[in-house]
Amino acid sequence: MSRFFKYRTQPEPSIELSEQDNVRSLHLGGSMIQSAMKLSAPNDLELAYTRYMMGFLLFHPDPKKILMIGLGGGSLAKFIFHNLPQTTIIAIEVNAQIITVAYNHFLLPDNPRLQVITAEGGEYLANYTEQTDILMVDGFDDGCQVASLCQQDFYDLAYKVLTKNGVLVINLLSQDKGRRNYLQRIENSFDGHVVSMLSEVRGNQIVFAFKRNPGKLAWKALKNQAKELEKIYCLPFSEFVAKLRKYNSRNNNFLET
C-alpha cells in the first residue's frame, strides 16, 4: 500500500489516501477503506457495498431527488450523477476536509445538480423541510454507525422526509454490535416494511426501508426487472435479487415486507 496524502485535523480523525493496483482509496484514521476509485474508471462503483446500495432501483427506478448522508470519496454521488441525469442529489458530509478531498482527489463533479453541504446528518435531517424519493445513509465512526444516525428519532425523521413511494437505504456493518438494535428501530419507524441483504459474508448489510408497503413483489418479475436494469447500469441486479431472496425468503413466489 503506497500512501501519498495524509493530514490530521481535530477533532476529526486523520485522512489518508493510498493507491494500489490502479485503485485510489480513502482512509479515515486507520487502514479500513472508506471509499475507493478505479483510476481507469473513476465513475464506476469499486466497492461491493456501494453497488448493493444501488439496489434501490429495483423498487424505485426513476427517482427525481436523492438525499445522501455521508459523502466519503463521493463514489455513489458520482455514479448517480453520471447515470441518472434526471436526478438531483444533495450530499451531506460533516467533515469539510473530506469534501475537499472528494473534489480534489476523487473527481467529484462541481455541478448545480449535485449539491454538497457541510453539516451533521441528523441535525440536517431534523431541519429539512422538503421531501426526497431516496434517502441514503452511509456514516461511520471508528467502525460503527455514527450514533446520531441510528437512533429511533433519526429513523422517524427519515420516514417523514420520504415521498409516499420513497425508500431509505442504509449501509450497516454486519459485525457492528448494535446492528440488531438499529434494525429493530428501522422496523419500528417503517412499520416493518424492511428488507436487507449482505453484500458479502461478514461484510456490509444493506437495508431498504419503504415509506409505503410495496406489497407482494413476484421474484420472477424482480428477476426480469433486474435483467433490464443490468443493460442500463452495468450493475449485477440479478445478484441483488438472489441475495434478497436468500436473506428475506418468507415466500417462494414473492418478496414480502
pLDDT higher than 80, residue 138 = yes
Grid cell 479515515 — which residue? Answer: 28
pLDDT higher than 60, residue 7 = no
pLDDT higher than 80, residue 249 = no
Predicted local distance difference test score (pLDDT) of residue 9 = 45
Nearest by Cα to 152 from 177, 203, 187, 119 = 187
Distance separating alpha carbons of residues 46 and 197, to the nearest angstrom: 18
Predicted local distance difference test score (pLDDT) of residue 12 = 62
Q: How far is CA 62 from CA 84, 205, 215, 257, in A?
A: 8, 24, 19, 21
Distance separating alpha carbons of residues 91 and 114, to the nearest angstrom: 7
Paired with 141 in beta bridges are 144
Q: Are strands 23-28 and 15-20 parallel, antiparallel or unpaired?
A: antiparallel
pLDDT higher than 70, residue 82 = yes
C-alpha cell recorded at residue 174: 454486519
In this structure, is the dihedral angle defined by the CA atoms of residues 45, 43, 77 and 37, taken in order, positive or negative?
positive
Mind telling me the catalytic residues?
138
Average model confidence (pLDDT) across the chain: 93
Predicted local distance difference test score (pLDDT) of residue 1 = 45
Q: Is 30 helix (H, G, I), strand (E, B) or coil?
A: coil
Predicted local distance difference test score (pLDDT) of residue 107 = 98
Predicted local distance difference test score (pLDDT) of residue 175 = 87
> Looking at residues 162-188, what average pLDDT do you find?
95
> Looking at residues 32-59, what average pLDDT do you find?
96
* 3-state SS record for 195-239: EEEECCCCCEEEEEEECCCCCCEEHHHHHHHHHHHHHHHCCCHHH
Q: Which position has the higher pLDDT, 237 or 201?
A: 237
Taking the model in full, what pTM does it have?
A: 0.94
CA 81 to chain centre: 14
All structural domains of the chain, each given as residue ranges with its CATH number in brackets, are 43-255 (3.40.50.150)
Q: Which position has the higher pLDDT, 3 or 118?
A: 118
Lowest mean pLDDT segment, chosen from 24-33, 41-50, 66-75, 101-110: 24-33
pLDDT bin (cut points 50, 70, 90) of residue 5 is low
pLDDT bin (cut points 50, 70, 90) of residue 141 is confident
Radius of gyration of the chain (CA): 17
Q: Which position has the higher pLDDT, 9 or 226?
A: 226
Grid cell 415486507 — which residue? Answer: 257
Predicted local distance difference test score (pLDDT) of residue 14 = 84
Q: Are strands 65-69 and 132-137 parallel, antiparallel or unpaired?
A: parallel
> Looking at residues 155-182, what average pLDDT do you find?
96
C-alpha cell recorded at residue 219: 421474484
Predicted local distance difference test score (pLDDT) of residue 195 = 97
Distance separating alpha carbons of residues 63 and 113, to the nearest angstrom: 13
Contacts of 10 (CB under 8 A, 6+ apart): none
